[in-house]
Amino acid sequence: MGGPAPEDTSAEPPTPEHTECSELSWSPVRGESPTEPVPWTVAMKRAIRCGRRLRKLLQLPPDPAADAAESFPTFVPLELLERIRPGDPNDPILRQVLPSADELRQRPGYTSDPVGDLQSDAGGGILHKYHGRALIVTNGACAVHCRYCFRREFPYSEKAAQGDRWSTALDYVRSDRTIEEVLLSGGDPLTLTDRVLADLVSKLEGVEHVRRLRVHTRLPIVIPQRITTELVRRLSDSPLRVWFVVHVNHAREIDAAVEQSLGKLIGAGIPVLNQAVLLAGVNDDATQMEALCRKLINVGVQPYYLHHLDQVRGASHFWVAAQRGRAIVESLRERLPGYAVPEYVFEQAGAKSKTPIA
The tens digit of pLDDT for each residue in 162-205 reads 666 689 999 999 999 999 999 999 999 999 999 999 999 999 99
Is residue 146 part of an annotated ligand binding site? yes
Does residue 25 surpass a pLDDT of 60? no
Q: What are phi and psi of 42, to 5 degrees?
A: -70, -40
DSSP 227: S
Nearest Cα residue to 178 out of 209, 135, 140, 220: 209
CA 155 to chain centre: 17
Q: Which residues pair with 245 in a beta bridge?
A: 216, 273
DSSP 54: H
- Confidence band of 37 (pLDDT split at 50, 70, 90): confident
Looking at residue 85, its amino acid is: R
Integer Cα distance of 306 and 316 in angstroms: 18
The alpha helices in 147-225, defined as continuous H runs, are 156-159, 166-175, 194-205, 219-222
More confident residue, 9 or 219: 219
Is residue 149 part of an annotated ligand binding site? yes
The tens digit of pLDDT for each residue in 238-265 reads 999 999 999 999 999 999 999 999 999 9
Is residue 142 part of an annotated ligand binding site? yes
